[in-house]
Amino acid sequence: MNQNTTVSFMRITKIVILCWLSMIGFDFFLHGGLMAGFYVQTSPFLLPPEKAFRLIPIGYLSFLLFAILLVWLMLGQNIRGWRGGLVFGLKLGALIWGSVVLGLMSISTASAGLLIGWFFGQTIELGIAGAFGGSALCGVRLTKLFFIVFVLLFLSLLLTLVLQNLGFAPSLRV
pLDDT band at 60 (very low <50, low <70, confident <90, very high): very high
Secondary structure letter of residue 78 according to DSSP: T
4 domain residue, yes or no: no
% of residues, the chain, pLDDT over 70: 95
User: Helix, strand or coil for residue 77?
Assistant: coil
Range(s) of the domain holding residue 91: 9-165
pLDDT at 3 over 80: no
Q: How far is 32 from 117, CA to CA, in rounded Å? A: 13
pLDDT tens per residue across span 24-56: 999 999 999 999 999 888 889 999 988 988 999
Answer whether residue 1 is part of any domain: no
Question: Is residue 45 domain-resident?
Answer: yes
pLDDT tens digits, one per residue of 108-117: 999 999 999 9
Give the pLDDT score at 173: 64
Question: In this structure, is residue 43 part of a structural domain?
Answer: yes
From the list 91, 75, 57, 58, the residue with the least C-alpha distance to 16 is 75
Residue 103 Cα distances to 62, 107, 109, 119, angstroms: 18, 7, 11, 12
Tell me whether residue 174 is in a domain.
Answer: no
Is 121 a residue whose pLDDT tops 70? yes
173 inside domain: no
Asked if 72 and 129 touch (Cβ cutoff 8 Å), the reply is no
Mean pLDDT across 140-149: 99
| 2 domain residue, yes or no | no
pLDDT at position 50 is 87
CA 26, CA 31: separation in Å to the nearest integer? 9
Query: Who's near 2: CB < 8 A, 6+ residues apart?
Result: 139
pLDDT at position 174, please? 55
Number of domains in the chain: 1
Please say whether the beta carbons of 24 and 60 come within 8 A.
yes
Does residue 35 fall inside a structural domain? yes
